[in-house]
Every structure is written in C-alpha cells, then in structure tokens.
Structure 1
Amino acid sequence: MNKPSSLIVTRRALMQALGAGAALAAMPGLAGRAFAQEKLKVAAVYTVPFEQQWVSRIHQAALKAKDHGDIDYVATENVSNTDYERVMREYAEAGNKLILGEVFGVEEAARTVAADYPDTAFLMGSSFKPDDAVPNFAPFDNYIQDASYLTGIIAGAMTKSKNIGMVGGFPIPEVNRLMHAFMAGVKETAPEAKFQVAFIGSWFDPPKAKETAFAQIDAGADVMYAERFGVSDAAKEKGVLAIGNVIDTQKDYPDTVVASALWHFEPTLDKAIAEVKAGTFKAADYGMYSFMKEGGCSIAPLGTFEGKVAAEVMAKVAEKEKAIKDGSFTVAINDEEPKSS
C-alpha cells in the first residue's frame, strides 16, 4: 500500500502542532461534549508499516472516514514499543480526540497514558478487556473467526495430501482464535486432515514466514494458511495453494490464493467516532463489531478460483454463512494456542 507523505508524522511536525493545539487541550472532557458539528481529530500509532495486513485495515478505514469528511486523520507507522508511549502522548497533547493503535506489546504503558489524558478517547487493539478505572480506553480485536471458519471449509475441500500448513506471528488470542476457527472449518470437509502449526515471533518478517512455510511444504503441506506475509510467496514458489487472512491478496497470487477471510474495521471505527462525537465514549469492548453479523468480516470473492471449488462445497459455505448471520450457528472462539496434529 502506498504511504501518503501527509500521514507520516515527524517529531518536528508534532511539536509544531502542540502550539496550535494548546487551546484544544483545555477543552472540556469527553462526558457531555459533542463534536457533531466539527471534524473529529483522529490520530493513530502503529508499530508496523501501513501495509501490514492487520494495520492496513485500520488505516484504510480511517482514510475512508477522512475522505467522507467525518474526521481529520494523521498516523505514524513503525513506532517501536519503547517509543510508543511518547508518540501517544504527543498526539494527545496535539488535541486529537480519538487515538487508534495496537498495544499488544505496550499494554500497561498505553493504559497509563490514557489515564493521564481523560479528555481523549483511546481505541486500541488489545488482548485484554475494558477497565472502568480507565473509562476512556476501549479495546478492540479482529474477531474474524466467522470468516476464517468459512475459508477452512474451502481449504479442506482443496487439500489432496490432507496436510495443512499454518504460519502465524505470535500465539496470542487474536491469532489463536482464527487458526482454531480455520481448523474447525477444514474438519467439515476433510475430517482426517492434519495440521502443521508454527509461529515466527514477529508481526512483520516476510522472509522468516516464507522459510517457515517452505519447511512445512517440504513436510507434505499442500495448502497453507497465510496468517503472515511471506507464506503465500512460499506457496507460489512451491506450486501449492494458500488461504489468506485479513486482506485479499488474490490478485497478487491468482494461481495460489484460493480464498481469504477479510477484516472490515469500518463498523468498529464508525461506532467509536459516533460515541466520541456524542460524548458517550466509554471503556467498552469493541470486539463484537468484527463479527460477521455486524459487517466486520467476510469471505473474499474467489476470483480466479471461481468454479474451481466444488459447487457443493460453496453451497455449504453459503449455508453456514447464512446461519452465522442469522445467529442459528456460532463459530467457537478458542483463544488457546493451537498445536500441530
């Protein structure tokens, strides 16, 4: 994804913004303050590049809201964990009323910052739950297990070796639950399937993910679950199939990526923007807005694989999708670390 220069915020630019935002810093708190008649100032702090799968969905949703005229938006990418707190504070001091980010490695520090700026709303990717002691800090998560389950049904139908490779970043709940849902879907169409599960210990290390995928393919995997960038590259080079996660890469791997579970951050962000503007933002769990019935996830079009997946399999996918949306079927949420089998 291209990185708009206007969004890459330097320390100098932030310091200049402090003077302009001094008056805003003295504004009343969240409670009872409405922003309906003005653009909401939104900032984001990301530990990885804008194009990384997970962050790209947040970034794109914010850019869309900016294009619609709902918000003003600035963001900083590639912020180290040791620098994360400083950037959060600078954005809060600059008068931003909603700050987005992912605080998996800096949870305690991020909540401390939020407590120090009660007039600012913080909507952060987190494995932990809301805490009433920090009423302006709301966690979200990519609960896209519904879509992951559906892609698993397709993967189970496409594997010939009944050996599935899975490469993830870290074994944390937001990764674990997607892997478990995918595995449950595979079992729907390939109950005898086995799984090779590995974690690379990084959110963005395509070469390492690629090498890990190579090893699993050499060990017999003919379908790869690409939770990280780099896995689909390995699958392409080895001539096996892949299932995408969070974003749609089918056009980049037309002969490799069969299906993808997509995350749509728009429902989560839209809810937060509305709450901040209404002065009602609070320490709530925003994870639910990633569920399929809330419009937070979907299965990507098959693209070049349209017609190559058996009709009865796609009928099963459609049936399960309908049941998920109407509430008659619930995909289990399992946050435990998945193991090879």
Structure 2
Amino acid sequence: MKKMLKTLGLAFALTTAALSNAEPLKVGFVYVSPTGEAGWTLTHDIGRLHLEETFGDKIETTFVENVPEGADAERVITQLAKSGHDIIFTTSFGYMNATLKVAKRYPNIKFEHATGYKRADNVATYFDRIYEARYLTGMIAGHMSETDVIGYIGAFPIPEVIRGINAFTLGAQSVNPDIKVKVVWINTWFDPAKEREAADSLINQKADVVTFHTDSPAAVQAAQTAGVYSIGYHSDMTAYGEKSHLSSSVHNWNEYYVERIQAVMDGTWTSTDTWKGISANMTDIAPISADVPEEVVAQVLEAKAMIASGELHPFKGPIINQAGDIVIPAGQSLDDGALLTMDYYVSGVEGKLK
C-alpha cells in the first residue's frame, strides 16, 4: 500500500511538473489601426489585456498594429503563424481572404476573423450586433437634433456599415420622423484627417449631430470645436468631446475572447460563427451625457431592455427604402441572412451608395 501511494505521489509530482513546465498558449492579434486610447482597435486590445489578466502565465499574447488590408496583412499573419502562435485573431473585414490563405497553409493553427463571413475548419468568425446599439444612439441623436439633420461618416459601403447607418436612422426616426441622415464615404477605416474633413463638411450642411463608422475620435473632436453634438463609435469617446459627446455604440470582446481561449485549452475549439448583441453583453452603449433629458435616457434604456428581451427588433416593418419601396412589410423583421447582405438605404438617408 505504501509503495502504491509512493508511486501515485511520484506520478502526481511528475504531472504537476509537466504542467508547470508547459509552454504558454501563444495568442496573436492583428490590428488595422493603432491601439490608441479610443476606437475599434482599442476594444480588441482591451480584450487581449483581459486575457492576460484572466489566464496569467498560461498564455502569451502578441499584437501587430497598423497593418493595412491586403498583401501586408497576409505577410503579418504568416509571420505570426511561423513564430509558433496557437491561435491568431485577425480584426478587420479586409483581412478575410488573407486569413483564409494563411489558414490553409497552417491547418494546425486556429484562426478567428472579426466581421467576416468566410470560414474553414480552422477559421472561425465573430462579430457583435452593433446595429442594436446604433439604433439606441440614433434615438438619442433624434431627440437632440434641432436642425433634423444628422451627419454620418462611413468607411466602406459594405453590409456591416450600411446596416449601421440604417439602424441609426431608424432609431432617430422612431423619436423624430423628420430626421434626415447625410452620409459621406471616405473609403478608409482610419484616417483622422479625412474623418475630420468629412465631419466639418457635414456640419457645414447643417448637421448638428455627427456620428461615424471609422476608427478615430476625429469626428467627436470636430463636433466639439463646432459646438454641435456627436455620437461616438467602438468605445466611449467622452474624453475627446466632453461638451459634444452624447454617447457611443460600443463593443465588448472580453467574454468572447476568454471563452475561445478556454476552448483551445480544453481541446473543444471548433470553427464557429458568433454574432451576439445586447442580450449577451457583446454590444452596449456608453454612459449617456447629462445634457440628454432624463425622460429621453429612460426611453432609451427601456428600448435597450426590449431589444435584450427580443421584444424590440431594430429592423421591424414596415420599413421603406430610399427609393420608396417597402423592403420590410408590417409585422415582419429581417432575418440574419437579410441583415448580413444589406445593400440599400432606408428612407431618410441622403446620398448614394458607391
């Protein structure tokens, strides 16, 4: 019996030593813009840091920022794969094909692509239903606008961005049917100078609230300078416009990243397509400015609770497109397939899709 206990004790000691000497899981991130202090990339880097806090020395994280979409992205992702990373998160829509190419060459490495729709056995996709938060911040903008004109800066005319424009417009029109949303496309995710120029242009067209689907807080800063309101995106941008910033539509990747890394460690990781929203705490809005009346805040928070419960869908009919056609009949809501392929403006949006 003593010999058996001694043997078991030795086996336990060897197992413990093996675990303590195990190499940490190597986790890589590829960012399209600087980590900075606000914006899309910051939210992913917050998630990366949360991983380090959660798993400690069980993991090792690295990131590469300011990686252009295209050939440079493929080169960077390949370098991460070659350097022994076990899982790589690529966090921009334009990284999709590059991620798939590299994943095909490295079938034993796991890849996760944010905002994309193409998957493989070792490539998962993920995004949040940020359009839900867009609808809510649209409600705030609709209440606060006095000119009934809202300016919207778009990066690229892809379904993700178009969906956000339409959700924001519908939210604004739900409280102010006279709202018009003017859109300017700048064809880049991150260029503070272009974003600032676009914001100034929209303000000159009588927009007294500006928002955007780009990465920097330049539009918030422009609004602050011009004395009009702004709605931020990706993260809370209050610090960039304390007098202008009303709220932001924000992402929360922390829980998702922990779940996926734990799955790798458990050996249960599979290629999945994740698209969750307010009900799963993957999407939210930043604190609402004190300039917004209390009754408006209460209305927005009530709508948020209704979205979380499924009682309110931002794209519930009747909804009419820019051409005057009914795209969503009364009583019906868009399914995920229609949301993911959205290629039209709703009524009230001004400008043409490029």
Normalising by structure 1, we get a TM-score of 0.82
SS at match of 2:240: coil
Query: Deviations 1:54-73 (Å, cap 9, x if unpaired)?
Result: 12111110111112316310
Deviations 1:221-257 (CA, angstroms, capped at 9, x unpaired): 1111133322112211211100011111112211010
- Structure 1 residues 327 and 66: CA distance shift in structure 2, 3 A: same
Structure 2: 5+ residue runs without aligned partners? 1-18, 316-338
Match of 1:206 among 189, 192, 195: 192
What is the DSSP-based 3-state SS (H/G/I as helix, E as strand, rest coil) of the residue aligned with 1:148?
A: helix
* Corresponding residue for residue 122 of structure 1: 111
Matched, 1:50 2:57: no
What residue number does 2:67 align with?
Answer: 79
C-alpha distance in structure 2 between counterparts of 1:54 and 1:201, whole Å: 16
**3-state SS of paired residue (2:275):** helix
CA shift digits 1:160-205 (9 cap, x unpaired) = 0000100121122222222211111101111111110111011111
1:324 corresponding residue in structure 2: 307
Aligned to 1:311: 294
Q: Which amino acid aligns with 2:305?
A: K
Corresponding residue pairs, total: 299
Q: How many angstroms does 1:87 deviate by? A: 1.9
The amino acid across from 1:187 in the alignment is: Q
SS in 1 for 2:146: coil
Paired-residue identity, %: 32
8 Å CA contact retained: 1:156, 1:186? yes
Partner of 2:101: 112
SS at match of 2:350: coil
Bigger radius of gyration, 1 or 2? 2
Give the counterpart of 1:196 among 167, 170, 182.
182
Whether contact under 8 Å (2:96, 2:118) holds in the other structure is no
**Alignment correspondent of 2:91:** 102
Deviation at 1:103, TM superposition (A): 4.7
Stretch moving more, 42-51 or 324-333: 324-333
In the alignment, the residues of structure 2 paired with residue 297 and residue 39 of structure 1 have an alpha-carbon distance, to the nearest angstrom, of 30
Work out whether residues 123 and 271 of structure 2, in 8 Å CA contact, stay in contact via their aligned partners in 1. yes
> How far off is 1:283 after superposition?
2.1
Runs in 1 of length 4+ with deviation above 4 angstroms? none
1:340 to 2:350 alignment: yes
Q: Deviations over 1:103-138 (max 9, x none)?
A: 5334323202112212111011243243xxx21101
Q: Counterpart amino acid of 1:44? A: F
Following the alignment from structure 2 to structure 1, what is the Cα–Cα distance between the partners of residues 53 and 145?
A: 42
Q: Which one has more relative contact order, counting CA pairs under 8 Å at least 6 apart?
A: 1
| TM-score computed with the length of structure 2 as normaliser | 0.79
- Structure 1 portions without partners, runs of 5+: 1-33
Most deviating of 98-107 and 210-219: 98-107
Q: Check conservation: 1:225, 1:244, Cα contact below 8 A.
A: yes
